[in-house]
A and B are shown apart, each in its own frame.
Chain A
Amino acid sequence: MDEQPGLSDQYRMASPWPLFVALGIPIAELGILFDVFVVAVAGLLLFCGSLTGMIREAGYAETAWRPLAVFAVLLFAVGGVLAFTDVSLVTRGYAILTAGGILAAAGIGGELFVPKRDPV
């Protein structure tokens, strides 16, 4: 750090995402456990969105769109299992599927319609 400049990779001392990742988890958990559709969807969006923001901030992805789509696929898988198999937690499954749908729409829409920036 200050006494050993240059020793580490450059990293930022601040990031807005962790707080919201941490908020997203309990909100999603509460919504899914108590079967409150909107809360579950909002919590999952917050959680996946913030994770995407973090992935992009850390430079693991160039744009937010593909990580969003990956999260959508994961949510589809989990939601699908809950809604359509013997587990049969239908309303909870639909909440997760809805969150996945919104993320997928954002991901695909962004990939298709948002113009790519030139790399700096």
Chain B
Amino acid sequence: MQITGQLTLTVLMGLFLVIIAAWLARIEDWRSYTPLGSGGAAGESGYVSQEKPTGISRWLTTVDHKDIGMLYGAYGVLAFVVGGLMIMVMRVELLDPGMTLISNSFYNSLLTSHGITMLFLFGTPIIAAFANYLVPLLIGADDMAFPRINAIAFWLLPPGALLIWAGFFPLGDIIPAQTAWTLYTPLSTGAGGGNQANAGVDLMILGLHLTGVSATMGSINFIATIITERAEEVTWANLDIFSWTILTQSGLILFAFPLLGSALLMLLLDRNLGTSFFAIEAGGTMLWQHLFWFFGHPEVYILVLPPMGIVSYVLPRFAGRRLFGFKFVVYSTLAIGVLSFGVWAHHMFATGMDPRLRASFMAVSMAIAIPSAVKTFNWITTLWNGKVRLTTPMLFCVGFVSNFILGGVTGVFLASIPVDLVLHDTYYVVGHFHYVVMGAIAFAGFAGLYYWFPMFTGRMYQRRLGKIHFWTWMIGSNITFLAMIVLGYGGMPRRYATYLPKFATFHQLATLGALLMFVGGLVWTYNFVVSWLEGPRVQDGDPWNLRDDGMYTNEWQWFQDRQETAITDGGDEDVVADGGTEE
């Protein structure tokens, strides 16, 4: 029986490789290869240098930064929908105190998966989507520095997502992980009598590892691109703010994600190969927490800096004046980048670590609040006396600033040790970081999606639906997250599927807000799908009338050039005026 199984697997794997080889042989003329450096001969293989294959092959083989940006975007949005549906199930379950709709262990699985999906499968990729599409256009580069590595980085993500969600698929006795996204040992090493020794946890860790590898490859690419591929006119003195934040974020990824990768490998070895890195008598329970949060805190800024960049970039366009104190924002971005590595243990104040160390971490946590606050003041002063136009992207930017202030101020309290000891592991913390992650980061992401929608699709969305989307989300998120903060003051602990009846009212309020956001999400989906298919075509390269205020920028210039070329040649896209025979 076992022999047959092995044999079947061998045949399957062999067949798999043969199919891949056959497909490669079909689309690649292996014989015609010449090193491309010698030029000219590339046209003899299936492709001319500027030409893309059609159909599905185009998307599977593309190394064009714009296509990869679109792929990242589609992937991020899909993951956002999955993570959003997960939380809707959980919020409905939390309508009443007991266990009704789903089992407690399924709640734990959803909780784990919601966190990881939103942070690693939505947050990081949606930022990479904007960065891939826009950074080369903004800095006047032809493409990313390493286009193929760019494609590898993207294609690592879908297998990563499948592995992370593997437990939810009907795969024998594999169950979803219930470790929460922080994977604290000893639970996550599978020790003890729980069910976390299951292979589902291994698969999730492998998936996380893959997304980490992907992010690291992407970051190397962005650093190389921004430093070396800038056009001559684009100097450090006039590099746009979004590219600055991407540069800083990539630096953070470069130092943080390899550490996560190593720690995850150690965890895998502990689980499967009998090592004892995280055993109580070896590294102890604190080792994992230190390793994890040394990655985990920079991760917070990895997620928030580029959205801050988007807001700093988009908000001035609709305020009719340049970003106030542009260089303040640049320097404070860099400051956040450095300081974010010095605050990790503020997630561990309640662990009983040495009070002297705790005091230092508190000091740095206080210091890092300054650069964030500086940015907030810059956004507000940019609006001051500006010619404000409340378009949908602008509404999302203003919503970002508002929610970020709430999320940020609640965070400053948490940075203080005595307050943290009271509020640690309550819904206050959940409310705080959801204000930042959903209220700010996701809002900025949607500001970007609406702002560049005409560029991505060549069409305009329905403005009224965009505004409905914004208001449902703005009101919904504030109801939900404010209710969470109140619950936290009341002492409601995080992560539980059931609760004491006295918390019911505010949990029901939170669910109400979540339902409001769900409705907003439906409106948004409808709007984007329908507008993409049959929205009115954008006629010129300046759909936001930025020229009137002298706020026109590089990426729209590129868009306009492309539109003009496409019109004169009657072609579809990427038309080369001289017929593609450039040297």
Contacts and interface: CB of A to CB of B under 8 A. Distances in A.
B63 interface: yes
Contacts of B577: 5
A81 interface: no
A61 to B, nearest CB: 9
Contacts of B202: 33-34
A22 to B, nearest CB: 3
A42 B558 CA distance: 44
A3 B14 CA distance: 46
Contacts of A33: 202, 206, 268, 272
A20 B541 CA distance: 37
A62 to B, nearest CB: 7
Interface stretch (B156-164, B403-411, B500-508): B156-164
Interface string A1-44: 11111111111111111111111011001100110111101100
Nearest to B26: A16
A56 B146 CA distance: 15
A78 interface: no
- Which of A57, A62, A117 counts the most B-chain CB atoms under 10 A from its CB? A57
A77 to B, nearest CB: 18
A24 B199 CA distance: 20
Contacts of B33: 56-57
Count class of interface residues, chain A: 35 or more
A52 B58 CA distance: 21
B427 to A, nearest CB: 36
B574 interface: yes
B353 interface: no
A2 B62 contact: no
A6 B156 contact: no
B52 interface: yes
A72 B32 CA distance: 26
Contact of A12 (B39, B49, B163): B49
Contacts of B35: 58-59, 62
B64 interface: yes
A85 B98 CA distance: 55
B227 interface: no
A40 to B, nearest CB: 10
A56 B6 CA distance: 34
B37 A29 contact: no
Nearest to A31: B13
B575 interface: yes
Interface stretch (B16-24, B239-247, B358-366): B16-24
B474 to A, nearest CB: 38
A53 interface: yes
Given A45-B17, A59-B37, A1 B148 contact: no
B267 to A, nearest CB: 12
B215 to A, nearest CB: 13
A14 B61 contact: yes
Contacts of B549: none
B224 to A, nearest CB: 14
B273 A26 contact: no
14 contacts: A1-B574, A6-B583, A10-B39, A13-B47, A14-B57, A15-B151, A22-B155, A23-B159, A26-B163, A26-B210, A29-B206, A34-B202, A38-B6, A59-B36
Interface of B: 6, 9-10, 13-14, 16-17, 20, 23-24, 27-28, 31-39, 41-42, 44, 47, 49-53, 57-58, 60-64, 140, 142-143, 147-152, 154-156, 159-160, 163, 199, 202, 206, 209-210, 213, 268, 272-273, 558, 561-562, 565, 574-578, 582-583
